[in-house]
Amino acid sequence: MTGPLVAILSGAGISTESGIPDYRGPSGLWRRDPEAEKQVTYEYYMADPEIRRRSWQARREIWSLHAEPNAAHRAIADLDRSGVPVRVITQNVDGLHQQAGMPERKVLELHGTARSVVCTACGARTPLQDAFSRIEAGEPDPPCRDCGGILKTATVMFGEELDPAVLGQAAAIARACQVLVAVGTSLQVYPAAGLVALAADGGARLVIVNAEPTPYDDIADEVIREPIGTSLPLLLARL
């Protein structure tokens, strides 16, 4: 069985039911603690060892939740396995789409991944767990073992550019898809939000699944406000 190309643009809201906090929602992390935004802002992170220490601790707290894919992640992977061509473009860095069974090659991570760590000086990559082990052993802000540079998760922080190759692939998918489902995203962060306009301009059917209104609701063919874990599986079953 094959069908139209379905693009899924996912944001933090798809992972909240897995226990990962969102940032911009009504009870989002940055609304409760505006200082926390500095931990993911490149300029502040690079300049202040205390912000880096807090950032590492926040990562450890999130990782200690042992988040698992929820029904929404699994429904997307199930749709792919059914033979419908699916591509996931995600703003998330948690890797839950892949964990749910989506092949790596079909998932574009616009904002990078929190599952590995990169040196800002020499570019060396190591697993996230290696950094956690060093923190637990008494290094609150572990430097690169190769060159002594500052380490950060391999995520795109505020103040950093998105990978142009990844963004180019995402734009190509948005233009080519027949259906785009934007799920759990405020559609306020660019250039990710601009992918919705690209898809709509190309004639794609646009469905928005999000608790809060978005700037693109007016051009959507369908807007769903129900909880994502129950509404998305039902929507994808209809597709």
In CATH, the architecture of 21-64+112-155 is 2-Layer Sandwich (3.30)
* Domain extents in the chain: 1-20+68-111+161-239, 21-64+112-155
Rounded Cα distance, 28 and 23, in Å: 4
- 175: Cβ contacts below 8 Å, ≥ 6 apart: 198, 199, 202
Q: Tell me: domain 1-20+68-111+161-239, CATH 1.10.150.120, correct?
A: no
Rounded to 5 degrees, what are φ and ψ at 192?
Answer: -55, -45
Note down pLDDT in tens along the chain; length 239 residues.
456 899 999 999 999 988 887 665 555 555 556 677 888 899 999 999 999 999 999 888 877 667 899 999 999 999 999 999 999 999 999 999 999 999 999 999 999 999 999 999 999 999 999 999 999 999 999 999 999 999 999 999 989 999 999 999 999 999 999 999 999 999 998 888 999 999 999 999 999 999 999 999 999 999 999 999 999 999 999 88
Active-site annotation holds for 111: yes
Active-site position among 66, 73, 97, 111: 111
Count of beta carbons in the 10 Å neighbourhood of residue 2: 8
Q: Where are the alpha helices (DSSP H) in 64-193?
A: 71-81, 96-99, 128-136, 164-176
pLDDT per residue as tens digits for the range 32-60: 566 778 888 999 999 999 999 999 998 88
Q: pLDDT value at position 22?
A: 66
Q: pLDDT value at position 1?
A: 41
Q: pLDDT value at position 32?
A: 56
Distance of CA 138 to the CA centre of its chain: 30
Q: pLDDT value at position 206?
A: 97
Q: pLDDT value at position 183?
A: 97
Q: pLDDT value at position 20?
A: 81
Q: For the chain, what is the radius of gyration of the CA atoms? A: 18
Q: pTM of this prediction?
A: 0.88
